[in-house]
Chains A and B, each alone.
Chain A
Amino acid sequence: MVVLELKKLGYRYEDGTLALKDVDLTLEEGEKVAVLGPNGAGKSTLMHLLAGFRMPFEGDVSVGGVALEEKSADRIRAMIGFLFQDPDDQIFMPTVEEDVAFGPRNLKLDDVDSRVKRGMDSVGVSTLADRAPHRLSYGMKKRVAIAGLLAMDPALLLLDEPTSGLDPRSRSELVKLLKSMKRTMLIATHDLEAASEIVDRALVLNVCPVMKGTMRDLAQAGDVLRSAGLELPPLPMLFETIGQKGYEVDALPVTMDQATAELTRVIDREGRRRR
């Protein structure tokens, strides 16, 4: 089932600056897709547009089969869970539990209690239910914001730079969490390393779409990424260097598992060649 469909999507800011042009994208249920690009590439604009906050736009957008327009924006927002870049923009209520319940109560969803419990359990903040969210660490605030979205049980999660501003440990924990979630997600990020761990495929955006493919496909096209203002993550960069040193590398890996397999192959081949 198609959850999100963009056709020839274009958008200009009020001053006439082109923000997005000819963006085509389809997300099937359960798919995780990253929108990669440098600052100013239009990633956040795309996210806000999909949540119905940037109108008018060119082309077509549909979420869960509903076409996005002024009239349907509220209905579409009810199907979307939008994680803002800064959790302080999002968290409003005086306690974690109240904040997680805020969305389901506004949308008049059934069984708010179990939704809140599930939301908090799934991101590991159940023990913080009575705490004031503004007193939590930045990473925990992100988790609380995600719990608030999960409690709404949205058809699509839009995550705007989910790993930005996090320390390495919080970042790695959040990546693990997002990886483990069986949800349809569109993630806007310039963190290729995190995207490699979480998503199935990606769209490289620099106002216009630059490239589409799996993260592994993208890693093979380092020059395209660089021309779009992105840097290869450390793993593929390491294997690119290994290849440049004369060792045969089949494909640049993007995850640790792929890297281990690729390294084993390189060592085997080198061992055989030496014998």
Chain B
Amino acid sequence: MPMIVGHVRGHSHILPDLDEHSKSHWFGRLDSRAKIVGIFSFVVVCALLTKVELITASLVLAVAIAAASGAPVRSLAKAYAAAFPFMLLASVSVFLFAGIERGLEMLGRTSACVIALLALASGTGTFGLFAGLRRLRVPATISTLLMLTYRYILVVSEEFFRMRTARKARGFGGGRSLLDKYALNTISFTAGTVLVRATARADRVYEALRCRGFSGDITVWRTSSLGRSDLVFMAVLLLSSGLLAAIQTGWVQW
């Protein structure tokens, strides 16, 4: 979920462009199941790392995955910036209880995880990502909820941008100071209207789905099987994650 929110917050206006971009890039064309399995394994291993050298190596690998994804650096940076306050909060908490070294380790670990997940989210068509989860036997309730959440986040953000434009078009320029009572009033009315409109729109979207026989499961019609490049990509990530885990646990001596 934070991944989706970060994804939308980072570049809500260019989401469709990213989806188009992901179709044209080799990383985007990889089977989403291979990417999900590979990157999630990497993330799980990253979360367990405690050695500084390994955390550094995982960060380098995460950046390499991000570079390979071909996602625009700017949008990745924006999405990372959106997630950064949460990572910082976690790191500061650890720093307060366990010292600066542990705090920095936490920041490194979470950064590696977030960068890898952002690369997955940005370098894969959003729908393909959820469809991949469904094909990996994630229960229909979860994958459909993710798809609907994504659709409704877009509905709410569309309404928000429309309202913001309408507000600006009528000369509103406030909102920069917390002491500006008029601006705060206007913003709260906007938020209320956005919610009401988005709810009405969401009802229509749901009714439209029901009209076409929707009963709680959304699957993709045209599916492909795993190809050689998908398997190679997955194997590289699984091997790298396995190596990191082996060194961390001491099974392999560095």
Contacts and interface: CB of A to CB of B under 8 A. Distances in A.
B101 interface: no
B213 A106 contact: yes
Contact of B213 (A51, A77, A86): A77
Interface string B205-242: 10111111111001111100000000000000000000
Interface in A117-165: 132, 134-135, 148, 152
Contact of B207 (A53, A97, A102, A106): A53
A135 B20 contact: yes
B9 to A, nearest CB: 19
Nearest to B210: A77
A105 B208 contact: no
- Best-buried of B125, B207, B208, B222 by chain A (most CB within 10 Å): B208
A113 to B, nearest CB: 9
Given A103-B213, A106-B215, A148-B212, A98 B222 contact: yes
B47 to A, nearest CB: 31
B127 interface: yes
Given A89-B204, A89-B208, A94 B127 contact: yes
B16 A86 contact: no
A90 interface: yes
A135 B16 contact: yes
Contacts of A132: 16, 19-20
- Best-buried of A74, A92, A98 by chain B (most CB within 10 Å): A92
B167 interface: no
Contact of A84 (B125, B204, B220, B222): B204
B127 A102 contact: no
B151 interface: yes
A106 B218 CA distance: 8
A81 B212 CA distance: 8
A30 to B, nearest CB: 22
B135 interface: no
Contacts of B212: 102-103, 106-107, 148, 152
Interface string B82-103: 0000000000000000000000
A256 interface: no
B38 interface: no
Interface residues of A, number: 30
A98 B213 contact: no
B128 interface: yes
A106 B128 CA distance: 19
A127 to B, nearest CB: 17
B201 interface: yes
A105 B221 contact: yes
A273 to B, nearest CB: 57
Interface in B123-160: 125, 127-128, 151
Nearest to B221: A101
Contacts of B19: 94, 132
A82 interface: yes
Nearest to B205: A89
Contacts of A97: 221-222
Nearest to B19: A132
Given A51-B207, A135-B16, A135-B20, A94 B221 contact: no
Interface of B: 16, 19-20, 125, 127-128, 151, 201, 204-205, 207-215, 218-222
26 contacts: A48-B207, A51-B211, A53-B207, A53-B210, A77-B211, A77-B213, A81-B211, A89-B205, A89-B208, A92-B205, A92-B209, A92-B218, A94-B19, A94-B127, A94-B220, A97-B221, A98-B220, A101-B221, A103-B212, A105-B219, A106-B212, A106-B213, A106-B214, A112-B221, A132-B16, A134-B16
